[in-house]
Amino acid sequence: MSTQGKSSRTDKVTTQTVVEMKRSGEKISMLTAYDFTMAGIIDSAGIDVILVGDSASNVMAGFDTTVPMTLNHMIYHTSCVVRAVQRALVIADLPFMTYQVTAKEALINAGRMMKEAGAHAVKLEGGKTITDTVRKIVDAGIPVMGHLGLTPQSIYKFGTYKVRAKDEKEAEQLLKDAKQLEEAGVFSIVLEKIPSELARQVTELVSVPTIGIGAGHYCDGQVLVLHDMLGLNKDFSPRFLRRYADLHEIMKGAVSRYIDDVKSGDFPNEQEQYN
Ligand code: KIV
């Protein structure tokens, strides 16, 4: 199998596929999506994994944080994405306070995400404090992705979206958390906004793939928020973000030309109406 360029796979991507991709050295591509149309486009482009992130709170709903997102919001977004996808693995975030109270409640909520939305796996933020919960969900047959480093649901504890684990103590804890998540049964771990050297250590430490966002090139895969990489969010420019398009300008230009055509009477013309 090629270890460079786009995946030649045409079969459905599963949690086993991404673990195998780490073993064979094939990088894993992951993007967020929250709706049917966008999910269909990125799936047809060949993306390996689609994350229905609770970043929907920011980019779809306009909240400042991911904290307000509810399970019903996430089930709605995930079901829209699942209906569009033919090939990619679809992972859904469990939102804030749907898995932190008890492991039993977490399992019920993860189950709703699978049964009502059709997700293929769920993602939970945190390390040692959630390992019992992860074990319970995995034991029930639901694949779990972990998420360490900058965990946005804890923004009010952190107080900032700056790079995490720059000091030795936090870095050591993160390494322990990654190992414990692996032992609890996660099939993959997102590493958000940590130094690339620490991401390298985690990636070498665990047998499951690491997916980085602002965590450098040693990770087994990369994830970006779709609206950021397409240039729809003009105001968000962190160092780690590479923009692949300027859709904000393209959409604004198209709408502006439409307005001009309506105002001038140029639209609709003879061919664009019924006789
Ligand atoms: O919610 C989200 O989009 C995420 C990614 C940034 C990893 O968790």
Active-site residue list: 192
- Report the C-alpha gap between 59 and 41 in whole angstroms: 18
Q: Which atom of ligand 1 is nearest to the CA of 211?
A: 7
- Report the C-alpha gap between 2 and 24 in whole angstroms: 9
Give the tens place of pLDDT for each residue, 191-208.
Answer: 999 999 999 999 999 999
Whether this prediction's pTM lies above 0.85 is answered by yes
Q: Which atom of ligand 1 is nearest to the CA of 54?
A: 1
Ligand 1 near 144 CB (within 6 A): no
Residue ID of nearest Cα to ligand 1 atom 3: 53
The DSSP bridge partners found for residue 222 are 29, 212
Ligand 1 near 143 CB (within 6 A): no
Q: Which atom of ligand 1 is nearest to the CA of 223?
A: 7
Ligand 1 near 85 CB (within 6 A): no
Give the tens place of pLDDT for each residue, 228-249.
Answer: 999 999 889 999 999 999 999 9
Give the tens place of pLDDT for each residue, 157-179.
Answer: 999 999 999 999 999 999 999 99
Give the strand pairing for 28-32 and 210-213: unpaired
On average, the pLDDT of the chain sits at 96
Give the strand pairing for 221-224 and 121-123: unpaired
Structural domains of the chain, ranges and CATH numbers in brackets:
15-244 (3.20.20.60), 246-275 (no CATH)
Judge whether residue 24 has pLDDT over 90: yes
Ligand 1 near 190 CB (within 6 A): yes
